[in-house]
Structure 1
């Protein structure tokens, strides 16, 4: 810090006193071709009692924006009628979220328009809440800056400094918010929410506000390595889920929430992604978002264009209502109104010439206009004549001595040059602290050499800074970006980086060590630009900065900001000294590990492998030290269903002492013997005995258990089901021999599907699932996990419970996974939930809407199996909803599958399931038969996935129908035999207690009765039973098909009236299902029969 010099402007040369390391300003004159009058400033910031000769800036109203105000209010009231809490029930109705885009050049008055127009209407008249957050060009690396500041402002409005509430935060409202936070987030989610938004703690009543500006606190490197587990995308999903719950809760308990985000062009990528998630979340209601951005920032045009395009897309899907307001310059009459307001004059004609001149000089820019008028007043061009008791000005003098310019920064800088040298130094220092700062921070970087109280009072009086209200601490904010920019421009360009570096060092040395995490983004914003460009930075400073960048990268990682994490971690690596792996192993490991993760999260495989190789080639590191790097690679390859994920898992397990046979033959033999062995052994054990096994504490064993689960999942995803089963057997063996590890319950729950496939034994499957649940409770208490729910809801529960029960478990698994950051398993849960909805015959348009909501997450993260499944499912629903009569040349789902999902074995099998249901729903039983013969029973390919039930039913049904329609005796017998084989499987499952196949069996019994030539009453009774069972279970499509088939049966008997009745009922069920094309087909095909029934 010695030798630092601070150049502000002109020949000013304040320097650092080497003994005290504090700034020592030296007075000097500053020349300028056109500046404010240089005059001494008062030591006190008090406004003089005589104000008749002052321009009334603080009382100035909004002028020239009547049309924009009317547009805003009309748009607001269109969706949110007036009435406040007396109309509370209205805000519970589903409404599209409102989004307003407000654009204009800097200084045109975007923020003032929004604040003056909406605060009164939203809060006083509608009993809602309004808050605005701001992004900062100097803090673009700080994730979620604008969103966090807006949310903190909402909380601040909810809670006053004495712990009471204001008018829209009733005790009932706060109780409801508190209750929902506790129920929806759980302890971990709440902890994260409080760390990100400290004021939440006051609503929860769990202590005083933690004074955090940035979300995380300092942690040790080893603790951070242990806490992240190498899954950046999971951290992102967890944080976004927490934010969504925050907005869901506020929007649920308040009639209207309006959040403005200023200077959106400087927003970080993570903020944009979060906003997209909020707009796509149908549970977030009563929300208006206002995006304000500069239209003249060419560097950010692409980002704003992408945001606008996404918003238009959401508008086309009726997810949002969108309005755009472009704010232009003020007209002469508007400028005249402002002058009259400032001068407290009534006669508009008296100021017309002055208004015209001001309009020419400022281009009608609102902020520039006010700065220009202030300059005229300060320099005597505009003054109050006490003799005449009116304002006077010399128009010719103003015309001749001022020039037209639209550079408000230069004008403001000229104004600042009339300040004393001390004040110019303080302005420059303040500009380094961001768009807002606390007085104590300014005291730190000024080293107590200046009267900051007097300076802040003058800066407020001159309209450069404003004191934020509602805070115990003294926090100030620049009145406009241009003012901050002008203050920063006082520092000569060639000295700017060094000046900011020295200010950053002063701030770092002046804050308490425990507060480093709060200031980390501001400090590094000041330190990094110079440090990364310096060739001779001392070693101790490089190491200090490398550690700070590591801290910032961990915080950004936890905040899921990939771009910020990448910047900080690469900065930290660049600052490491030579031979850093030997001299600073822990720091190097932390930085390179996060670099591996962040490159994998960005899908940069080569860069990910390069950083990983630097860690993996360090022989002095243990396998436990390297696990996060291995997991980052495994996760990356796993999302692509790449065999490398399996190979890497096997390599890691080998280092942990766990090995598998490599040949397929040996794997099959080993799996068969293991299944037989554990079937016998588990029958001897009670649930109590299994749950009372000791808990393993060895980190190697616990990591082995976790990696076995990873391998099981990735092997299954790449089609190596035998290896997946062997992982489960190995997990079972380790658990029974050594005790319960953190992953034992997952191993047991995945064992159940293999028992189902191997032995077709529902009872044994249910028993093993019970063992798994007991282990989960032993290890995790009542807390569930997404992975457990996924396997239970997809593979185990449907065999003993209804579809609705499985759906509840899967959806709860999704919520848990998002809340706890278990992103992959959460998406597996929602994927299984969606295809369960499909086979459970949920209303098709509703299902399509749900698929659209969750597609973005799966596409964004390229999550392998869930993504491919969602793609197939979406295409299947689209095919069913396509009501065009042109079917010639249309591809089937199976024909499209190759291009949609590639070589994904599990989803290739699922494509057969979906295609079978499409053929069944559209009555194309010949193609359904061909598909059944081609694919056979899919039980092994799908393990015990519940999709087996409809698949086997659709195959059996199509085979029975085709058997009835064929005249060839041999073919008829073959088809009947194939159908009966599948029919018998379903009968056994129904007998063993599976509730979801009972109506399938009833429908097949009716078809078999027709094939056997049974009596009319027998067939009718069987089909009536099937219709009742289908409708009662919510299987609308099956009820429709059953009615249609019974109608065709009566048609064959010549009973057109009864046939017409059944066809009409079938049409109603098809329409309820959303399959209007099939209903239209029946109407067209059997018009006469339906008319006969109607006219009976």
Structure 2
């Protein structure tokens, strides 16, 4: 019999009315749970087998009978213990214990499998001691970071330095109030665990906060996935009052972001849905355009503007958070899988000189998966070069495998053993088998218990093992996936199947998606013991997954996900494709939008499938990626969508095909992939049934390539002139020489504008003619290219023709820019300051009729810097130009 423990009536229990302990504890340890309440003889199991009925044993405390019901063959048992001490002041019961046990088939040990304690509000002192007793024969996974004292000291130095210099002093003109910490090492070496000491340091500060986002293999290429998760997790924690942020601070963050970003906040909300809960903003997203696959035709400045817009959005959000949180630590794990847009964003945040409150960014990546040619390696090199320019500190930490003494500490912690000599031999074996990888060590010990090579001895009340047997029956386990997979394969079929499904969904994954799959496949109904919620809790108890919130889980390590993906057929393309089909046929549109990238990625595994409906879904995913500057992701989805089109795509799916090829051409231009872009353009232009308007997007893409990328302005002019002819609106006609026609047209157009009072432009006639809007677009590109080729005649003609179209047929989004351009020509050629001023003001009035902020900022820029600066106070011009500058970051896309 074990040593008596503290009587149950003297225990200090937790504040909840019911505590459910699910640890595996030896049956004989019931005495330790409730010493003084019940005595369980050593031969309890053998005597119970001989009993004709349920055996009864006396309570040593109150001498009452305690019935114990034993299952057949003593394979299981259950019972209850009741402390109804009459000596209590109020006569109430203090504690009751319900318990159960099972016999292990492998080891033959009897193990306590569950206990529920109910308590009164009295006698509260030592619940932690009781809980520890309950865990005596269960492996302990709650292990502190070991063997990283030097690295932790480095982290402490970084945080202390940041805190000390977060607020500049009078003698410090250029404080480095940003810290970049890069932690690298092999998979499983403990990079993520090294973040725990940072969290502990930050918790010491009342307003400090740490948030983390993960980039995963399944979501590789998805724009901003990790950084969006990090901000989403932080906002969720703030709303759930898991931080020290006050309600007024939440409102302040939301108001600051909305006031700064305006309508362009929608792009940020698309990435971080949680943001909507704190902005209190009336969202009116153009969801129909995304759902229908609308491809916006633009004037070619979009790519740079999109990048600037997202740069400004993330900076604004970060500044708002940093102004109310300090220190603020942003942890980004798995950077080897980060997309280019995310790497740019890290650069944006570090180089943000207006964020005076400071920021700590911690980046983690697998060094064995990043060579010198990897984008991350090149980005880190760029960070090194920028530390002085943007005044931030950069620290790199490379984790090495653990030494044998550190491995021994892990094993001692897992087995709750204090004597290091006891586990020395076992740690020698682990060091050889795992090569000092801490995650591998933990999985190796877990495997030993699972295989019966490590067990808890009930008589000795300690863990026992045979080192020679372990040495003989185990092999070197440098691949932890094998260990994890071995554990998983011993689980029930339902758990294995759930692991396979979850492994295909990335990290984190939504529980409603698994519920949908489970129900669709008819695996569960009602309150079955194999329902998804119960199974997820079991996987969480097995240390495979961890809860993010009530609606989602994530893998504790990407190697766990990799092991789950190796189960059954989960890694097969057909399995993932069928899973994608299940989601496509089962999810509601709103649910599909939440997991759009995951679902489309699964559907794209069916590479030989010809499914136009999936091609349409790829177009939707491409447009979503495009809206957040995820050009590479968008291009990938376009390629997949084109593969899913039938051979007669132009006749059977004309509109969808055109949109995919047009968007693809635009994305390949942004990526600088000339060959693929030319293939897309040629495919569209070779279709005889397409109208000039339908071919317009690829013409625009080609003009962008020539003018903005190759800087071939004359080639741009030639292309645009050809397009104008095809649109039935050539720029040169008649018998006059080119220069003479330009002067004649200028005089004629200026005369026509003078006949219109400025007030007529306040509510002008608007044209929605697609052909005329296309003509305006290519005329504007000719004006731009002519400026750089010093072709003054073409410059005059293009500006005049744009204004003529606006006067005769009605204005369009480019009309304001056209009037400002003509004003610039008039002040340069004719020296007519009054007329040019009138033209500039007319352009500004026209622009108010449209919400195309890109053309609006161009109109303001041309009007103020080339014209009104000569006739208006410079202060007013400066304020207007600053407004135009802010509009660049509030850019909404289309120019037509």
Interval containing the TM-score (normalised by the shorter chain): 0.7 to 0.9
**Closer, same or farther: CA 343–89 of 1 in aligned 2, 3 Å:** farther
Q: Retained in 2: the 8 A contact 1:46–1:457?
A: no
1:498 match: 574
Find 2:154's aligned residue among 71, 74, 89: 71
- Alpha-carbon separation, structure 1, partners of 2:691 and 2:317: 41
- The structural deviation recorded for 1:339 is 2.7
Partner of 1:638, secondary structure, is: helix
1:441 aligned onto 2:513 = yes
**Closer, same or farther: CA 478–548 of 1 in aligned 2, 3 Å:** same
TM-score by length of 1: 0.65
1:118 match: 198
**Closer, same or farther: CA 706–91 of 1 in aligned 2, 3 Å:** farther
Aligned length: 766
1:602 match: 671
Find 2:272's aligned residue among 153, 178, 197: 197
- Alpha-carbon separation, structure 1, partners of 2:639 and 2:619: 9
- The structural deviation recorded for 1:590 is 0.8
1:173 aligned onto 2:245 = no
Find 1:751's aligned residue among 822, 833, 843: 822
**Deviation per residue, 1:409-429 (Å, 9 max, x gap):** 111111122223333222222
1:420 match: 492
- The structural deviation recorded for 1:78 is 1.0
Partner of 2:401, secondary structure, is: coil
Q: Retained in 2: the 8 A contact 1:336–1:355?
A: yes
1:742 match: 813
Q: How does 1:384-463 map to 2 (within 5 A)?
A: 384-446=456-518, 447-449=521-523, 451=530, 452-463=532-543
Please, which runs of 5 or more residues in structure 2 have no aligned partner? 1-104, 118-130, 525-529
**Closer, same or farther: CA 653–37 of 1 in aligned 2, 3 Å:** farther
- Alpha-carbon separation, structure 2, partners of 1:323 and 1:67: 13
**Closer, same or farther: CA 664–106 of 1 in aligned 2, 3 Å:** farther
- Alpha-carbon separation, structure 1, partners of 2:281 and 2:457: 60
1:485 match: 562
- Alpha-carbon separation, structure 2, partners of 1:219 and 1:427: 36
- Alpha-carbon separation, structure 1, partners of 2:658 and 2:894: 25
- Alpha-carbon separation, structure 2, partners of 1:61 and 1:287: 26
Find 2:442's aligned residue among 356, 363, 370: 370
**Closer, same or farther: CA 749–59 of 1 in aligned 2, 3 Å:** same
Please, which runs of 5 or more residues in structure 1 have no aligned partner? 1-35, 826-1096
Pairwise CA RMSD: 3.5
Partner of 2:890, secondary structure, is: helix
Q: Retained in 2: the 8 A contact 1:43–1:454?
A: no
1:183 aligned onto 2:224 = no
**Deviation per residue, 1:522-577 (Å, 9 max, x gap):** 12322323x22x3xx4x4xx223322222222222222222222222112212221
Q: Retained in 2: the 8 A contact 1:695–1:741?
A: yes
Q: Retained in 2: the 8 A contact 1:103–1:325?
A: yes
Partner of 1:504, secondary structure, is: helix
Q: Retained in 1: the 8 A contact 2:165–2:176?
A: no
Partner of 1:627, secondary structure, is: helix
Find 1:516's aligned residue among 592, 606, 624: 592
Find 1:291's aligned residue among 360, 363, 367: 363
Q: How does 1:603-618 map to 2 (within 5 A)?
A: 603-618=672-687
- Alpha-carbon separation, structure 1, partners of 2:880 and 2:343: 31
- The structural deviation recorded for 1:261 is 1.3
Q: Retained in 1: the 8 A contact 2:269–2:275?
A: yes
TM-score by length of 2: 0.78
Q: How does 1:834-873 map to 2 (within 5 A)?
A: none
2:604 match: 528
**Deviation per residue, 1:726-752 (Å, 9 max, x gap):** 122122222222333222211111122
2:236 match: 156
If each structure's strand is expressed as a fraction of its own residues, which one has the higher value? Answer: 2
- Alpha-carbon separation, structure 2, partners of 1:713 and 1:238: 23
**Closer, same or farther: CA 319–811 of 1 in aligned 2, 3 Å:** farther
Partner of 2:471, secondary structure, is: helix
- The structural deviation recorded for 1:589 is 0.4
Deviates more, 1:611-620 or 1:105-114: 611-620
2:612 match: 543
**Deviation per residue, 1:47-97 (Å, 9 max, x gap):** 99862433453532222222111101211221222999xx99999986353
Find 1:717's aligned residue among 782, 785, 788: 788
**Closer, same or farther: CA 113–657 of 1 in aligned 2, 3 Å:** same
1:634 aligned onto 2:703 = yes
1:312 aligned onto 2:392 = no
- The structural deviation recorded for 1:809 is 3.5
Partner of 2:645, secondary structure, is: coil
- Alpha-carbon separation, structure 1, partners of 2:389 and 2:235: 32
2:176 match: 95
Partner of 1:224, secondary structure, is: coil
- The structural deviation recorded for 1:367 is 0.8
1:302 aligned onto 2:383 = no
- The structural deviation recorded for 1:300 is 8.2
Partner of 2:207, secondary structure, is: coil
**Closer, same or farther: CA 178–341 of 1 in aligned 2, 3 Å:** same
**Closer, same or farther: CA 358–47 of 1 in aligned 2, 3 Å:** farther
- Alpha-carbon separation, structure 2, partners of 1:192 and 1:523: 21
- The structural deviation recorded for 1:237 is 3.7
Q: Retained in 2: the 8 A contact 1:39–1:418?
A: no
2:17 match: none
2:27 match: none
- The structural deviation recorded for 1:220 is 5.8
- Alpha-carbon separation, structure 2, partners of 1:440 and 1:88: 52
- Alpha-carbon separation, structure 1, partners of 2:614 and 2:878: 50
- Alpha-carbon separation, structure 1, partners of 2:657 and 2:450: 57
- Alpha-carbon separation, structure 2, partners of 1:319 and 1:416: 49
1:248 match: 319
